[in-house]
Structure 1
Amino acid sequence: MAIASMGTTVLDCPDPRTLAAFYAAVLGWETAQDSDDDWVELEGPGGYNLAFQRSEGHRPPQWPGTEHGQQAHLDLDVPGDAREEAERQVLELGATLLQGDDGGRRSFRVYADPAGHPFCLCYPRPQDT
């Protein structure tokens, strides 16, 4: 029997509303009604939630590297034929490309969100489909 069940994933950041707006646009999720300036929660399908908590003095992770290691990151799946459009959209929303897919040798690209958290857009390689 499980001791607990997985709840909300929470990212610390300097501005929860701004970072929540970024991920709401990326994921198409809605902001929970009880959100405030220090805690903003997005509600996704199947009971998944992603929250953003104000952290004064937030220091973004450095990727790659270990001095300010990433500690955690999000893998976001996109269809293989949509990866270029997905990249264009996340960059327009304020993401920064950290590492490409090495000419298609890897099935993901690494980005930083506007607060500096690493996340990956993952997609099947053509030989995987």
Structure 2
Amino acid sequence: MALAELGAVVLDCPDPRALAGFYAEVLGGTVESGEGGGQDADWVDLTVPGGRSLAFQAAPGHVPPRWPAPEGSQQFHLDLTVDDLDAAEKGVLALGARPLDTEDRSRSWRVYADPAGHPFCLCAC
């Protein structure tokens, strides 16, 4: 029996509304202000299709993880499943993502950083 249920995955970032907007464009869904309300909210929620949530929390002095970094940790990353890897790549780059790994284009996954520097993967289904 489970002791808990996952509520949301929370990403620290310098600008919660901007990062929520990035992921809303990538995943779809609805952005809602949380703590602090309005444009300068310290917490912003994104409810994605299917009812799952991502949350974004203001973190003054946020230092994004480095990938790859043998001396450090990526902390976590999101795997996002896509039907067309090339089309999805074009879309996330246009939204402000940057590639982190362009060495092997034959794989079924590619690694990027979101605008706040968090790594995520696009994975072909």
Q: Do the two structures share a fold, i.e. TM-score over 0.5?
A: yes
**2:85 — aligned with what?**
83
Superposed, 1:1-129 pairs within 5 Å as 1-32=1-32, 34=34, 36=37, 37-79=41-83, 82-100=84-102, 102-104=104-106, 106-124=107-125
Q: Is the 8 A contact 2:34 2:42 kept in 1?
A: no
Paired with 1:60 and 1:71, the residues of 2 have a C-alpha distance of 9
Identity within the alignment, %: 58
Residues 67 and 115 (structure 1), Cα distance of their counterparts in 2 relative to 1, 3 Å cut: farther
Paired with 1:68 and 1:112, the residues of 2 have a C-alpha distance of 16
Greater fraction strand = 2
Residue ranges of structure 1 left out of the alignment (5+ in a row): 125-129
SS of the residue 1:114 aligns to:
coil
Paired with 2:78 and 2:62, the residues of 1 have a C-alpha distance of 18
TM-score, reference length from structure 1: 0.87
Paired with 1:27 and 1:47, the residues of 2 have a C-alpha distance of 12
Count of residues paired in the alignment: 121
Cα deviation 1:70-101 (Å, max 9, x = unaligned): 1000000001xx21111111001000001136
Paired with 1:21 and 1:103, the residues of 2 have a C-alpha distance of 28
Paired with 1:50 and 1:21, the residues of 2 have a C-alpha distance of 11
User: Match of 1:56, as an amino acid?
Assistant: P
